[in-house]
Amino acid sequence: MSNILIVDDEVGIRELLSEILRDEGHDVLLAENAGAARRIRNELCPDLVLLDIWMPDSDGISLLKEWSANGQLKMPVIMMSGHGTIDSAVEATRIGALDFLEKPIALQKLLAAVKRGLSHRAMPATPRHPTLAALTRSLALRDLRKRLTQLAEGSRSLLLKVGPGSLAELAARSIPNASGAWFDLSSATDPLDGERLASLAGGTVFVPELARLSRQQRVNLNFLLDRLERYQLHLVVATETNREDLLAESWDPTLVGRLFETSLPLPGLPEIKDDIPELAGLILQQLIESGEVPMRRFSSGVLNILRTHAWPGGYAELRSTVKSLAMASLDQEIGTDDASALLSEAQAIESGSPLSLDLPLREAREEFERIYFRHHLRLEGGNMTRLAEKTGVERTHLYRKLKQLGLHGTRKGDD
Determine the pLDDT at residue 415.
Answer: 47
The predicted structure's pLDDT at residue 298: 94
Mean pLDDT score of the chain:
85
Region of 12 on the Ramachandran plot (φ > 0 left; ψ -120 to 50 alpha; else beta): alpha
Cα dihedral angle (215, 216, 220, 223), rounded to 10 degrees?
Answer: 80
| Average of per-residue pLDDT across 154-166 | 93
pLDDT in tens, 215-240: 999 999 999 999 999 999 999 999 99
| Least confident stretch, 32-36, 105-109, 140-144, 378-382 | 378-382
Backbone angles phi, psi at 238, to 5 degrees: -110, 145
User: What's the pTM value of the predicted model, to 2 decimals?
Assistant: 0.61
Asked if 11 and 80 count as a contact pair (C-beta separation under 8 A), the reply is no
Q: Give me the mean pLDDT over the 280-306 stretch.
A: 88
Q: Helices (H) and strands (E) in the chain — how many of each?
A: 18, 12
pLDDT at 356: 63
Percent of the chain with pLDDT over 70: 89
Spatial CB neighbours of 341, under 8 Å, sequence gap ≥ 6: none
Kindly indicate the confidence band of residue 379, based on its pLDDT and cuts at 50, 70 and 90. low
Q: How many CB atoms lie within 10 A of CB 154?
A: 8
- Angle made by CA atoms 346, 348, 353, in degrees to the nearest 5: 145
Report the length, in residues, of the chain: 415
Res. 393 pLDDT band, cuts 50 70 90? confident
**Distance between CA atoms of residues 314 and 318, nearest Å:** 6
Structural domains of the chain sorted by starting position, each given as residue range(s) with its CATH number in brackets: 3-119 (3.40.50.2300), 132-267 (3.40.50.300), 270-405 (1.10.8.60)
Give dist(CA 279, CA 326) in Å, integer. 15
Residue 85: the pLDDT is 64
Mean pLDDT across 187-200 = 88
